[in-house]
Structure 1
């Protein structure tokens, strides 16, 4: 049995509401932080793909702050198991290929390099691990996603009633 769960249609797999738990470690200083919240993947209005909106609470050095981000997961012409991930403003972020259930990708950002590893465990669980290195950064961000069927059902009700 493989430790990875292959995904034939990445956009269909991601669609819905996911609980998010992220640990953040500064490998240079030893400082630790965390993020807890939710990510909603829903269809884009203007093109084939999904809007990813993450929101929750980020805790760093015992200070809790609201945090959010938005990404765009666009359909890839090379296959349904792949997506082109972009920042909210359209700038490229990284490629994503979950056809084997596992993918490694890079994102250069100024003098830093972000290396991401994506692992799909099953229909309701996946993980990302980002290692960020550069002159001023040495970080490890590990995020676990769990499908939130209860919130997903509520989100579907809101969407279909025109309130969400």
Structure 2
């Protein structure tokens, strides 16, 4: 997979439901784990509690094409599934906020509590972002392969961690 698929509007492109598969490798210990589940990107305000719960999270043709025209304050990203680590499987979930970025078609990714995580610009189909966390550095590489498949690879290095997290996303129809 060497060719990347340019995305005109990252928020419109991500809107919808995705199957998620993540491998986690601890390079120091050799331990490996895996997350499997799904994620939904939906506009703020959709759903029963006003922050994105409870809706179906459909994508629509515009989102699949990655075309311009996303409106609203941003997307709520809800991921849930199971994480298997050292023989133990348990439920796992996370929430992120994807807000319109400084330039049209880009995003500012925030943690659930509003703290900045990283910028995201997929206009070339590929993007590298850094996130310092205490003494560790998270470096994420995002690659879009086509309208229904993308990947993130986070390399986490520092005194506390030495990890590689590879996540493949496949759009659900």
Q: Same fold (TM over 0.5)?
A: yes
Deviations 1:114-142 (A, max 9, x none): 00000000000000000001102100000
Q: How many Å separate the matches in 1 of 2:151 and 2:172?
A: 15
Displacement of 1:77 after TM fit?
3.4
Q: How many Å separate the matches in 2 of 1:78 and 1:11?
A: 12
> What is residue 54 of structure 1 aligned with on the other side?
79
> What is residue 21 of structure 2 aligned with on the other side?
21
Q: How many Å separate the matches in 1 of 2:82 and 2:141?
A: 23
Q: How many Å separate the matches in 2 of 1:89 and 1:20?
A: 23
Is 2:139 aligned against 1:115?
yes
Is 2:139 aligned against 1:88?
no
SS at match of 2:18: strand
| RCO higher in structure (CA 8 A, sep ≥6) | 2
> What is residue 88 of structure 2 aligned with on the other side?
63
SS at match of 1:8: coil
> What is residue 100 of structure 2 aligned with on the other side?
75
Displacement of 1:6 after TM fit?
0.1
Displacement of 1:13 after TM fit?
0.4
TM-score (norm 2): 0.83
Q: How many Å separate the matches in 2 of 1:68 and 1:11?
A: 21
Runs of 4+ in 1 over 3 A off after TM superposition: none
As a proportion of its length, which structure holds more helix?
Answer: 1
TM-score (norm 1): 0.87
> What is residue 165 of structure 2 aligned with on the other side?
141
> What is residue 131 of structure 1 aligned with on the other side?
155
As a proportion of its length, which structure holds more strand?
Answer: 1
Give the number of aligned pairs: 147
Q: How many Å separate the matches in 2 of 1:77 and 1:139?
A: 30
